[in-house]
Amino acid sequence: MKRVLPPTYLFGAIVLMAFLHFLLPLRVVIVFPWRLIGILPLVAGIGINLAADRAFKERGTTVKPYEASTAFITDGVFRFSRNPIYLGMTASLLGIAILLGTATPFAIVPVFAVASDRVFIVPEERMLEQAFGDEFRQYRNRVRRWI
């Protein structure tokens, strides 16, 4: 059985945000042109994701959460967040919610963050601790989970 990967959760969150925006907007909370501020977290989130993905590729380790890591990355964006990919995805969703400007898409952002934490981050960090032991524990004590 194939496991659902984080990009599928991200895509589902974006679709749900659009659905809520168009069919159940409740009210406008950010008006144009202020909505354009959403470009900032959207672009920042994409940049964080690309930087993290590049780090995985440079080290020759997997980006997939269910596969064992062959390298432990602590530099680049990993100096600021133990989970920059999920941080980047969440920032991108926040940017999309701001760009949409209605109330309901904002509800998806924390739901996505909590789901990412429970479904992916906790098991990933357990695997990293098993694989890298004290090195991971020291890193965990030094660097926050999100930011």
d(CA 21, CA 28): 9
- 110-116: Cβ within 8 A, 24+ apart: 111/13, 112/9, 112/10, 112/13, 113/86, 113/146, 115/9, 116/6, 116/9, 116/83, 116/86, 116/89, 116/90
- Per-residue pLDDT at 90 exceeds 90: yes
Q: What is the mean pLDDT of residues 62-79?
A: 95
Q: What is the mean pLDDT of residues 79-87?
A: 98
In 3D, which of 30, 41, 34 has the Cα closest to residue 96? 41
pTM attached to this predicted model: 0.95
DSSP track, 1-40: -PPPPHHHHHHHHHHHHHHHHHH----B-S-TTGGGGGHH
Rounded percentage of the chain residues whose pLDDT exceeds 90: 97
- Per-residue pLDDT at 1 exceeds 80: no
pLDDT at 3: 87
pLDDT in tens, 26-65: 999 999 999 999 999 999 999 999 999 999 999 999 999 9
pLDDT at 129: 97
In 3D, which of 104, 139, 141 has the Cα closest to residue 16? 104
Q: What residue ranges do the domains of the chain occupy?
A: 6-142
